Structure formats: C-alpha cells, structure tokens
Amino acid sequence: MRDYGIDLAERIDSMSWRQFAALARNLSPHGAAAVRAAELRAGEYATNDRARAAEFFAGMRAAGR
C-alpha cells in the first residue's frame, strides 16, 4: 500500500502472477512485504498463480506483518 497506493490483497484476484511478482520485487527494501517477497523468491513456489499469491499473504499474516 505504501509503495504503490493499492491494496494488493484486494487486487490479487484481478492480476496475473507476473504482475504481482513485478510489484513484489520492486517494493521498498524497508517494507515488511519486500522481506517476505525475498523469502518467497529464495524458496520453492507453488505451481499455480493463485496458490503463489495465497502463500505470500499467508506468510505475511503468520509473520504478523
């Protein structure tokens, strides 16, 4: 929200994985989402776009971010 002025949780169903990944990769390095995005890039991804996005947001919630 801070970097792009949009709520990714609300927009996730209307964007492709590529679009989501591009936004996540370019987040401020000081934000919690950027840290989680880096963790996901380092790990294994699910095979479908919605599962990838769900995994990202579940990790954010679990980390309390």
Confidence of residue 62 (pLDDT cuts 50, 70, 90): confident
Residues 2-20 have a mean pLDDT of 84
The structure's pTM equals 0.44
pLDDT at 42: 66
pLDDT at 26: 80
Distance CA 50, CA 32 (A): 21
Is pLDDT at 64 greater than 80 in this prediction? no
Sequence spans of domains, the chain? 8-62
